[in-house]
Structure formats: C-alpha cells, structure tokens
Amino acid sequence: MAPIPGSGLAKGLAVTLRTMTKKTVTEQYPDAQPDLPPRTRGVIGLFEENCTVCMLCARECPDWCIYIDSHKETVPAATPGGRERSRNVLDRFAIDFSLCMYCGICIEVCPFDALFWSPEFEYAETDIRDLTHERDKLREWMWTVPAPPALDPGAEEPKEIATARKTAEKLAATQAESQEGNA
C-alpha cells in the first residue's frame, strides 16, 4: 500500500512539537558549575612524597607524555657501622596534557600511590605549549582529589589484615602460656 501523501511531514512535526514541550537540560556552564560524579576523570594529580622515581608511569604511558628527571642522593647510615644508601630524588615531573589521552594507565601502574585522578577540568590554555604542566601544578590538583569511598561494613576482612591478626593472636597465646608456665 502506498504511503499517504504528507505523512512524513506530519511525523516530523509531531517529533518537533514533542521536543519543544520538554524541559531543556542545558547547563549554563560558566555561570553554573556542573555537578560532577565523585570519581570524575579530570586531570592527573601528583602526590610528590610518594613518588620514588621508579619511572613505571613514564614507561607504561602509550603516548609518552610523562617527563621525569631525577638524580641520586646518598643517605648516611641510620645506625653506626651501617652502610650508606642511595635514593632517587625527583627533579622534574611533568605531564603534557596536549598528548595525554586520559587512559589512566599511569595511575594504575603506580605502585606507590603517587598519581591520582582529580576532578579538575578547567585548565585550558591559549597556547598548546602551555599544556605541559610541571610538578607544582600537578601538586595543586592533588588537593582537589576526593577521598576514597568508605569501605563496605559488610565486606570481608582483607586477607593481609586477617593473616596479621591471626599471627598476633597466636603470638599473644604463646606468650600467655609461657607466662603461666613461669608462674
């Protein structure tokens, strides 16, 4: 059967009328800040005290947008007769956000929890060369990182804590037995 002439136009007008009567969901961004989810991926924040300059983040980055420079420093022995230790000291930690694809691999591979997602997203620059942010700027963003969600009260105890607790209980029981034997 052939379609009725003008039915396509009527359907199109019906869609337009339905859309016109719905409330708009546009947020006026510069005037009103958006309500972001708690774990939004904005930029990467650096907690410098935890960074051991292991270079895992820079090696695993698929875009090679993380730049790290360091030097070795000798730490004197902690005890008399001990040997001196050497440790890496962070000189430069920079991320080029013009190259970064925000995959989060650097955050996932960091074994010392030095990198975190910050919900900060307003870091536009007029020149692309200014999108390489050094460690001072990355540290500022660290303070915008939200606290991790609370643990589920009904969850299992972590295996590490359970093992440590059992070991401590056994040690306390053997000490109590040895004290009873001495008394």
pLDDT digits (tens, 9 = 90+) for 150-177: 778 888 888 888 888 898 999 899 888 8
> What integer is the mean pLDDT of 10-29?
88
pLDDT at 4 over 70: yes
Q: Are the C-beta atoms of residues 174 and 182 closer than 8 Å to each other?
A: no
pLDDT band at residue 123 under the 50/70/90 scheme: confident
Place of tokens 């859309």: 19
* Cα–Cα dist 121/97, whole Å: 11
Give pLDDT, residue 183: 63
Q: Are the C-beta atoms of residues 41 and 104 closer than 8 Å to each other?
A: yes
* 106 exposure class (CB count in 10 Å sphere: 0-12, 13-18, 19+): buried
pLDDT at 101 over 80: yes
* 146 exposure class (CB count in 10 Å sphere: 0-12, 13-18, 19+): middle
Q: Which residue has the higher pLDDT, 10 or 155?
A: 10
> What integer is the mean pLDDT of 6-31?
88
* Cα–Cα dist 53/92, whole Å: 10
> What integer is the mean pLDDT of 69-92?
92
Q: What percent of the chain has pLDDT over 90?
A: 54
Give pLDDT, residue 146: 87
Q: What percent of the chain has pLDDT over 70?
A: 98
Q: Which residue has the higher pLDDT, 37 or 173?
A: 173
The type of residue at 152 is: D
Instruction: Provide the mean pLDDT of the chain.
Output: 90
- Tens of pLDDT, residues 142-151: 998 988 877 7
* pTM, full prediction: 0.68
pLDDT at 39 over 80: no
Closest CA to 51 of 64, 28, 75, 69: 69
Q: Are the C-beta atoms of residues 133 and 66 closer than 8 Å to each other?
A: no
